[in-house]
Amino acid sequence: MKVVVIQGPNLNMLGVREQAIYGPMKLEQIHAQMKDFADKNKIEIEFFQSNLEGEIVDKIQECYGEAQGIILNAAAYTHTSIAIRDAIAAVGIPTIEVHISNIHRREEFRKENMIAPVCASSVVGFGPFGYHLAMMGMNQIMQEVQAMQAQQQAAQQPQAQA
């Protein structure tokens, strides 16, 4: 099973930008922790970061047929991007959105969330640990999907005659 982690604008500046909000951890450190979890759970993982909305849309679309899950921190695009929302809906891949800060306790404009309605779940306000929670959640979702697919295959097979 494959999970693609897509990071939006300014997340490449973690560890430098607004540490009182986002903390001192760098994006590379977060990704290293996620990779450790993925390796222990036999999950293939790919990381992508872009400051450009169109590149994020392209990456989501590239996941179609290639990945079984997406973990997405759309960052500021969370509040503005119908294009990212539509891409998530179009590919139909379970997506968990992550936000390091609690966007519901911040500025009014951050309370509008364009992508949450098309995501399987959201992890908000746990700092970098939110990515670990998202990995745990995605692992659970993928196990449930695999179990459901196995049941469907078993139901489609003709009953063996005695």
Question: Which active-site residues does the annotation give?
Answer: 22, 99
Q: Where are the domains of the chain?
A: 2-156
Q: How far apart, in whole angstroms, are the C-alpha atoms of residue 66 and residue 89? A: 16
Q: What is the pLDDT of residues 89-135, one digit of tens each?
A: 999 999 999 999 888 887 787 778 999 999 999 999 999 999 999 99
Average predicted confidence (pLDDT) for the chain = 93
Ordered DSSP codes for 32-75: HHHHHHHHHTT-EEEEEE-S-HHHHHHHHHHTTTT-SEEEEE-G
Residue at 109: amino acid letter: F
Q: How confident is the model at residue 18 (pLDDT cuts 50, 70, 90)?
A: confident
CATH of the domain spanning 2-156 = 3.40.50.9100
What is the per-residue pLDDT for 161? 52
The pLDDT of residue 40 is 97
Pick from 148, 2, 30: which is nearest to 99 by CA?
A: 30
160 pLDDT above the threshold of 60: no
